[in-house]
Amino acid sequence: MLTIYDLKPKFQNLLRPIVQWLADKHIRPNQVTWFALFLSGLLGAFIYFSNGAAWSLLLLPVGLFIRMGLNAIDGMLAREHDMQTKEGAMLNEMTDVIADSFIYLAFVSIPLVESSLIVLFVIISIFTEMAGIVGQAINNDRRYDGPMGKSDRAFAIGLAGVLIALELINEEWLLYYLLLAILLSIVTLYNRMKKGTQ
């Protein structure tokens, strides 16, 4: 099933000059990973403490896009410039989940949002990434199956933020939107569990 993750090779090609520049400056992958986590924490704090002010939600897509780029860059630095470490692999997986949680859980402060649905969305997202990692432990094959992978979740939440900020969605339709995101996340979890054991 097609997901945003399938666009990764083209995205990486665009980032390769930046990766080379960082390597020339002796920037390590873990430094990029920590910066991505810091950026995510900052975005989450902006949204939470402003109660989802329009300016903070409009910053979200930009911040998520930058973070997606940073996530690609740290991996490319590690693989293409001989900087892979076990510590880096652990840090990458853990900070991805923590960073998502920082941003997505901040939505509980938005009056229009049903908090329990956001919490459920985050919990299922964590299980989904865990299933992908377990697939690697079982078959040496990290699963990235969709339809609601990491990049797709970022797109869905970023879009929700913009719709809320511009007052283009009401509480009822936002409820349906989040329910659909949760349903797709459950399908993704099932797909990763099934394909990870084949």
3-class secondary structure, 78: helix
* Model pLDDT, residue 30: 95
Q: Give residue 137's pLDDT band: very low, low, confident or very high (50, 70, 90).
A: confident
In the chain, % of residues over pLDDT 70: 96
The pTM is what? 0.91
Mean pLDDT of 67-86: 91
Q: Where are the alpha helices (DSSP H) in the chain?
A: 8-24, 29-49, 54-80, 86-105, 115-139, 150-165, 171-195
Gap between the Cα atoms of 94 and 98, Å rounded: 6
- Which pLDDT value is given to residue 29? 94
- Exposed, middle or buried: residue 133 (CB in 10 Å: 0-12, 13-18, 19+)? middle
What pLDDT is attached to residue 4?
Answer: 65
pLDDT, average across residues 92-119: 95
Domains of the chain, each with CATH number or no CATH = 7-195 (1.20.120.1760)
Whole-number percent of the chain with pLDDT over 90: 81
pLDDT value at 2 more than 90: no
